[in-house]
Chain A
Amino acid sequence: MTGTSNQIVRLDNVAFSWADDLQPVLMINEFNIDRGERVFLRGPSGSGKTTLLSLIAAVLTPQSGSIVVDDVALGSLRGGQKDQFRVDRIGLVFQQFNLLPFLSVRDNIQLPCRFSKARRKQAGQTGMSINQETDRLLRAMHLSPEELLNKPVTQLSVGQQQRVAVARALIGRPPLIIADEPTSALDSETRQAFIELLFVEANAAGCSLLFVSHDASLASFFDRSIDLREINTAAVSGSDEWEPVQ
């Protein structure tokens, strides 16, 4: 780590394939995200969007090339360090099923604080307790803490669940939020509201945002929109879903 750079994510000549003897599915010469930038990544399903996110989140390791996230070279991390890196610096939101059914809304939101000292510290840094910060985030997501906090998550609507998931991604203000098709389970009205809420809070927290969707109509909300096929030089035609090799 040499000081802080302007870029939160830097990919340099990255190549990835599911096995060493298979064709690479991703080859990206250069892909950067500036700090505070909101990037929209689109592409048809099977084009490797989730694979790219997994690389950035240090879930997958590229065969070659370097990935630097928040000034950490991912290649230098070992297994446990990768997990720590991820929870410390990245908030994740998925398409659906983001929440643990047996925990309350409060426990679900505070989950990253259990595993990350950094997130716990930052959540409390605004002079509020973690519980107060949880309440604040819920209100920011237009959810009522009084109504929801101790409710089991299974009683929430999908839209509410996704907003709770965003609150969890935002708690402790990680520098990068990765959202993988978070709106695909929402209808178009809630979709727009959801994105607006996400923007406002990501802005307030100073987070960069990498937002993945195949729905190009959302692109106009973002600072920058990239089609994965433009930057991926590996010629993958596929509409096939890529399954991890077990």
Chain B
Amino acid sequence: MIGIAWKSLCNRWPTALLAVLAISMSVALILTVEKVRRDARNSFTQTVSGTDLIVGARSGAVQLLLYSVFRIGNATNNISWESVEDISKRRAVSWIIPLSLGDSHRGYRVLGTNTDYFDHYRYGARKSLALSSGQIFDDVFDAVLGSEVAAKLGYRLGDEIVVAHGTGRVALVEHDRQPFKISGILQPTGTPVDRAIHVSLEGIEAMHVDWQNGANVKGDGTDPDVIRAMDLQPKAVTALLVGLKSRGSVFREQRAINTYRAEPLLAVLPGVALQELWNLVSVAEKALLIVSVCVVIAGLVNLMSVLLAGLNERRREMAVLRSAGARPAHVFLLLCLESAALTLGGIIAGLMLHYVLAGLGSIFLQEKYGLSIALSLPNNSDLKILLAIALAGLLAGTLPALQAYLKSLSDGLSQRL
């Protein structure tokens, strides 16, 4: 029976191929959408761990999370250094990491921070940052590169880089009078850290010494050694990552910062802010999912129409089969086997297509957004989706099969068309 079904399909390979193609595309689409959704979430979640509170100027929780940790968008305002000191002096606070953003180098953001960043920042499963070469900045004009920055721009230790004002890829104004020297390169993390250039807070101040009213002052610029001797205490930072001595005090601290009188501040729990982000994104996710489900349904409807349309022209075949001893049940089975083969073929082709798409997509997403999409074997939920599609395919095949069954019952051995 399987042999007959196979030969019958081969005989009508153009339509069979189209049906397989339609199913494979829908399978690939739904798997890829699912994967991007899952991996994007994963990638976001991996980025912050070990941080109890994120503090910034008062805005929205999602916005704060996005610009401070994921470097998406910009801050509306800064936190004054006095507030930073007040927060760091609180008894429950174990450490703070100041983050100062707003400058870039060839499209990569420059992050001003202090050495606590390398001690306390955690990503993934509470992993800390590690250097692949060189050392952490200790001079005002030292910079530590994320792995991707170093790899993409081909920088080595000791190279000098010029930082540009603003975050655009095309720099309009460059802080070219005070170049930075690369002192260290970090190991890859799969987070936005890979795409950042880390300098000290003092370095951020230093490059703005000659910067007045949004432009460089005329002249050759201040000599670096003169700048080193200046007081480079920052006046403000963009955001703070705060670690507490005990997680139990997190809500009390959050409340204290949110009601801080000297300056309107916002403290968010990374997990809660992420959740808010998911709620926001889930509308789009659902829309994508609905579209993919519709594509799957379209694929199955196509399968059904291919089989149904084939029935009329195959009525004679059915009669021949019946006269050679096939029962109506055999005819039913034949059609079911054919639809099963088409569905299975579609699923296998779809899986392969999915890996191609995911492979290409991961390159794009990594480049554009720093999201890491790993190629992996289908997981449980993927398998469930595939199983559901397989069952739906079989189900879609039973209707034509049933019709063939009924026709072959009523037609008997008649050769009339």
**A positions within 8 Å CB-CB of B:** 50, 54, 57, 59-60, 79-80, 83-84, 86-87, 92, 94-103, 107-108, 111-112, 114-116, 119, 168, 243-244, 246
7 contacts between A and B (CB under 8 A): A80-B327, A80-B329, A83-B325, A96-B415, A101-B11, A102-B11, A103-B4
Task: Give the chain B neighbours of A119 by CB distance below 8 A.
Answer: 325
Residues of B within 8 A of A92 (CB): 323-324, 413
- Contact status B415-A87, CB under 8 Å: no
The 0/1 profile, CB within 8 Å of A marked 1, for residues 157-182 of chain B is 00000000000000000000000000
Q: Assess whether B317 is interfacial by the CB under 8 Å rule.
A: yes
Q: Closest 3 CB pairs between A and B?
A: A87-B325, A102-B11, A115-B325
State the CA gap A99–B316 with chains docked (Å): 9
Query: Contact between A54 and B412 (Cβ–Cβ < 8 Å)?
Result: yes
Q: How far is the CB of B221 from chain A (nearest CB, A)?
A: 83
With contact pairs A80-B329, A115-B325 given, residues A101 and B317 touching in the complex (Cβ less than 8 Å): yes
B277 interface contact, C-beta 8 A: no
Query: Is B320 an interface residue, CB under 8 A from the partner?
Result: yes
Q: Is B285 an interface residue (CB 8 A)?
A: no
Does B383 touch A at the CB level, under 8 Å?
Answer: no
Q: Do A97 and B325 touch across chains, with their CB atoms under 8 A apart?
A: no
| Contact (Cβ within 8 A) B10 A102 | yes
Q: Are B325 and A86 in contact (CB under 8 A)?
A: yes
Chain A CB within 8 A of B236 CB: no
Tell whether B375 is near chain A: CB-to-CB under 8 Å. Answer: no
Answer yes or no: B8 CB below 8 A from chain A CBs: yes
How many chain-B residues does the 8 Å CB contact rule pick out?
A: 28
* Known contacts A114-B325, A115-B324, A116-B325; A97 and B412 CB within 8 A of each other: no
Complexed CA–CA distance, A108 and B320 (Å): 10
Query: In residues 355-413 of chain B, which contact A (Cβ within 8 Å)?
Result: 410-413
**Main DSSP-derived SS at the B contact region:** helix
Residue B152 interfacial (CB < 8 Å): no
B413 and A98 within 8 A (CB): no
With A and B bound together, what is the CA distance between A83 and B413 in angstroms? 11
- Say yes or no: A54-B324 contact (C-beta < 8 A), given A102-B7, A102-B8, A115-B330: no
- A244 x B411 contact (CB < 8 A): yes
Please determine whether B410 and A97 come into contact, CB atoms closer than 8 angstroms: no
Q: Contacts A107-B7, A111-B325: A100 and B412 contacting too (C-beta < 8 A)?
A: no
**Chain A residues with Cβ under 8 A from B412's Cβ?**
54, 59-60, 244
Report the minimal beta-carbon distance from A9 to chain B, rounded to whole angstroms. 17
Q: Which residues of A contact B316 (CB under 8 A)?
A: 97
Instruction: Tell me whether B309 is interfacial, beta carbon within 8 Å.
Output: no
**Which residues of A sit under 8 angstroms from B330, Cβ to Cβ?**
115
Question: When chains A and B are docked, how far (Å) is the Cα of A111 from the Cα of B4?
Answer: 10
A108 proximity list for chain B (CB < 8 A): 324
CA distance A57 to B11 in the complex (A): 30
Bitwise, B1-44 to A at CB < 8 A (1) or not (0) is 10110011011100000000000000000000000000000000
User: Do residues B327 and A115 form an inter-chain contact, with CB atoms below 8 A?
Assistant: yes
Contacts of B325 in A (CB 8 A): 83, 86-87, 111-112, 114-116, 119
- B415 and A97 within 8 A (CB): yes
Of chain B, the residue at the smallest CB distance from A57 is B413
CB pair A83 B323 closer than 8 Å: no
B249 within 8 A of A: no
Known contacts A100-B8, A115-B326, then 17 further A-B pairs from the complex at CB < 8 Å, ordered by chain A residue: A59-B412, A80-B329, A83-B325, A87-B325, A92-B323, A94-B323, A97-B316, A98-B323, A100-B317, A100-B321, A102-B7, A102-B10, A107-B4, A108-B324, A112-B324, A115-B324, A115-B330
Per-position contact with A for B329-343: 1 when CB-CB < 8 Å, else 0?
110000000000000
Residues of A within 8 A of B252 (CB): none
Q: How far is the CA of A87 from the CA of B329 in the complex (A)?
A: 14
With A112-B324, A115-B324, A168-B324 as contacts: A54 and B10 at CB distance below 8 Å: no
Roughly how many angstroms separate A168 CA and B326 CA in the complex, as a whole number? 14
Query: Which residues on the B side are within 8 Å of A107 (C-beta)?
Result: 3-4, 7
Among B12, B324, B326, B416, the most chain A Cβ lie within 10 Å of the Cβ of B324
